[in-house]
Amino acid sequence: MADSITTEQRLVGGPRPDLDLTQAEWQSSTQGVGDVQVAFVEGYIAMRNRRDPEIPAVIFSPAEWRAFVLDAREGAFDLT
């Protein structure tokens, strides 16, 4: 699986491994709002829709996740 992916590829958004998410520990918002869940698996971050977990998860490298979170905090994804 992720064993063939180097640390550098993982940090800069190289090719995605075929992660086994069947045993992932999915986490929801601590506030209990929203439908997004995340799991930290083999150095990557997986994000899925809690209401429809059969849809494939979006996989982020650590660098991509950091950029996503920082942009979200700054309101980059606000629809209002």
Question: What pLDDT score does 1 carry?
Answer: 46
Collect all residues with Cβ–Cβ distance below 8 Å to 28 and sequence separation of at least 6: 34, 36, 37, 50
> Where are the strands (E) in 1-80, listed by range?
36-41, 44-49, 58-60
Query: What's the CA gap between 80 and 66, in Å, rounded?
Result: 23
pLDDT tens digits, 36-47: 999 999 999 999
Closest residue by Cα to residue 16 from 36, 42, 49, 37: 42
Nearest residue to 73 via CA among 65, 11, 57: 65
pTM for the predicted model, two decimal places = 0.73
Q: Mean pLDDT, the chain, as a whole number?
A: 83
Share of the chain above pLDDT 70, in %: 80
